[in-house]
A = this chain, B = another copy of it.
Amino acid sequence: MHNGAVRLLVIGGDAAGMSAASQARRRLGPDELEIHAFERGDYASYSACGIPYWVGGLVDGPEALIARDPAEHRKNGIAVHTRSEVTGIDLAARTVTVGDRTEPFDHLVYAAGAVPVRPAWADTTADGIFGVQTLGDGAALDAWVTTARPADAVVIGGGYIGVEMAEALIRRGLRVTLVERAGQPMSTIDPDMGALVADAIRGLGIELRAGVTVEALETGGGRVRAVVTDAGTFPADVVVLGLGVRPNTALADAAGLPLGATGALATDLRQRVTGPDGVVEGVWAAGDCTEVNHLVSGQKAHIPLGTHANKQGRVAGINIGGGYATFPGVIGTGITKICDLEVARTGLSTREAEAAGFRYVTATVESTNRAGYFPGAVPMTVKILAEKDTGLLLGAQIVGRSEAAKRIDAFAVAVWNRMTVTEMTALDLGYAPPYAPVWDPVLIAARKASDALSG
């Protein structure tokens, strides 16, 4: 089995793990590096973010969501083993256990992802209850909607995935109730911006119940029947759990790998697992099971997103392959689409800024995506935060109807580079009437925040 080549084992065959494998392979050929990836599920290298669009019927699934199938990886010299759960890691012996086999490694990439938060009340074997974490989850939900012909759906949790799933099920013709414990959905943005999102959710015909706590699931005949909450019982032929995820670190923890303060694996900038005693040689981690540096708050954070997983995996793979790359951290960028409403954020929200101890000013502006006179011009709301004493841009949020969400990237690059809002007023952004007013909404917001600082 050991042919003399260095041996890389990857736990988890999704974005992070397969990016690491692919990048290591780019630098080292099969004679130098043997690569095995173990995935407990049926699929590898897929876009979990696409599941709501598949369930909603906007895209075909699951094949379309698979970036690269195992055959392609194998052609590339990467052995992908699906339905292969790693059940143990022996750091001293430098082996992992997969089924009844013991596999030695020189390098180990731990990319086991995250597992859905599943409260005690969800602990039932009744049918009709679904997470939205894996392609398998998506397939099961899709099949249930098709075959069991549910009429009433309850989506629990009003974050990105919950809102996206609520829209998907409305598209499939169900009556949908979205239950959120907080005062409003999309708590990653400020309440004033979230109110715009809540309006859009209701506009889709979704019954939005915020400030509601789930207490139990009612089941009968082996399937879910209703969701019991502190604000009444909602009938449910299908329940989708969108309560977020936690890092899947049980295996790592059992093996004695150190965990960070967030409960996720801590790494250094090159994605080497790192604990109080320093770097764990030859053991790497990437993706939803890891914690990251939040470059604005200065704190560690667990922000499971495919875009981070891909970058971290790439960095790990380059380093394993003998190259050099670092993943410095994140700034909290996120975007989503609710029907035609575009929602985006980067940096810190007011809640996050307060938690991190910042003093700040805010500026909110109403503008348009295009020159006001240009066909298709629609409103856009932009809110930004700047640190009071320094003027540094701390965060930005955008809600609009068209050509809005990706404007967050200009703010994201500005946050990344620690720009002040006053410096931002001079930014040379693209202007032409089909794309922006002569003062882009990004610049108008920067002007208003700059005025607020000096006023």
Contacts and interface: CB of A to CB of B under 8 A. Distances in A.
Given A432-B335, A438-B47, A413 B417 contact: yes
A406 B402 CA distance: 12
B413 A427 contact: yes
A374 B326 CA distance: 30
A407 B408 CA distance: 10
A429 interface: yes
Contacts of A330: 428
A426 B325 CA distance: 10
A157 B95 CA distance: 69
Contacts of A414: 413, 417
Interface in A409-455: 409-410, 412-414, 416-417, 419, 425-436, 438-440, 442, 454
B335 A430 contact: yes
In the complex, the count of this chain's copies comes to 2
Contact of A426 (B327, B373, B439): B327
A50 interface: yes
A410 B408 CA distance: 9
Please classify how large the interface on chain A is, using the bins under 10, 10 to 19, 20 to 34, 35 or more.
Answer: 35 or more
A307 interface: yes
Interface string A251-282: 00000000000000000000000000000000
Interface in A314-348: 323, 325-328, 330-337, 342, 344, 346
Interface stretch (A58-66, A130-138, A186-194, A352-360): A58-66
Contact of A374 (B50, B67, B323, B325): B50
A94 interface: no
Nearest to A418: B417
Contacts of A116: none
A199 to B, nearest CB: 20
A98 B434 CA distance: 37
Interface string A293-306: 00000000000011
B374 A433 contact: no
A357 B43 CA distance: 51
A427 B415 CA distance: 10
A31 to B, nearest CB: 21
A311 B425 contact: yes
A405 interface: yes
Contact of A430 (B344, B375, B428, B431): B344
A49 interface: yes
A403 interface: yes
B47 A373 contact: yes
Nearest to A315: B426
A430 B411 CA distance: 10
6 contacts: A59-B374, A325-B425, A328-B426, A409-B442, A413-B413, A417-B417
The list of the 6 closest CB pairs from A to B, nearest first, reads A417-B417, A413-B413, A335-B430, A307-B431, A64-B373, A409-B410
Given A310-B438, A311-B425, A409-B410, 18 more contacts: A50-B371, A58-B374, A64-B373, A67-B438, A160-B432, A305-B431, A306-B431, A308-B428, A332-B428, A333-B428, A333-B429, A335-B431, A344-B430, A406-B430, A410-B413, A412-B428, A416-B427, A417-B419
Interface of A: 15, 47, 49-50, 53, 58-60, 64-65, 67, 160, 305-308, 310-311, 323, 325-328, 330-337, 342, 344, 346, 371, 373-375, 403, 405-410, 412-414, 416-417, 419, 425-436, 438-440, 442, 454
